[in-house]
Amino acid sequence: MNCKFMASMMCANYGNLESEVKMLEEGNIDSFHIDIMDGRYVPNFAMSLNDMSYIARATDKPLDVHLMVEHPNNTVGLFINQLRVGDTIYIHPEAEYHPSTTLQKIIDADMIPGIAINPGTSVETIYEMLRIVKRVLVMTVNPGNAGHMFMPYVDNKIEKLLELRDEMGFELIWDGACSMDKIIKYSEKGMDGFVLGTSVLFKGDRDYVATLEKLHKL
């Protein structure tokens, strides 16, 4: 399996974040996924700018920052200043009047521009942006909380995005309700990466090395 695995750090143990990062690195995690919520675009709060900055200093692995915030153009500079060349920033197109302006700021900073697509957002409404982004984060649950159930109607959207991926030149990443059976099924369909949360990685005895070794052998 030639997929990337991202650790959803909102599910990590914040009592010992340094140890969590090191254990995930030992398991050869591909990147650290950072969820930022403002309590307005989604009815919840998650990780902070300081949390993100700490992880950026603690690892050489890439960070994938998912901005679930209103008008990200107003604050994206704060995140760019704390990240590294080659890190990814996702925005929600619905959250901004002119999302291409925000994406251009990410591009100008030599970072990877991405968009996150909610379950209720159609491919048609974001079609033109697919030409300028390098990653598409397809949400299979409504954003804002961990542990939600997979929404089966997202299947058709994933099929459409997989058809467009090679033409447009983006990577397709799965986020939400990412269970082992979904990873097996959709990696075979061509999904490029998966954000791992409470369904696979952050559960039970949290043996990250063993879990990631199992995933890499699929």
Helix (H) or strand (E) holding 50, with range, is helix 49-58
Q: Are 102 and 78 in contact (CB under 8 A)?
A: no
Distance CA 47, CA 33 (A): 10
Q: What is the DSSP letter of 64?
A: E
Look up residue 166 and give its amino acid: D
Torsion of CA 93, 53, 59, 110, to 10 degrees: 50
216 SS3 class = helix
Cα 152 versus chain centre, distance: 19
- 175 as an active site residue: the answer is yes
Distance CA 144, CA 146 (A): 7
How is residue 102 written in tokens? 């925000």
- 181 as an active site residue: the answer is no
How is residue 193 written in tokens? 């990466």
Distance CA 42, CA 145 (A): 9
CA-based nearest residue to 13, from 202, 175, 200: 202
Q: State the catalytic residue, choosing from 30, 35, 64, 192.
A: 35
Q: State the catalytic residue, choosing from 51, 64, 87, 175.
A: 175
Positions marked catalytic: 35, 175
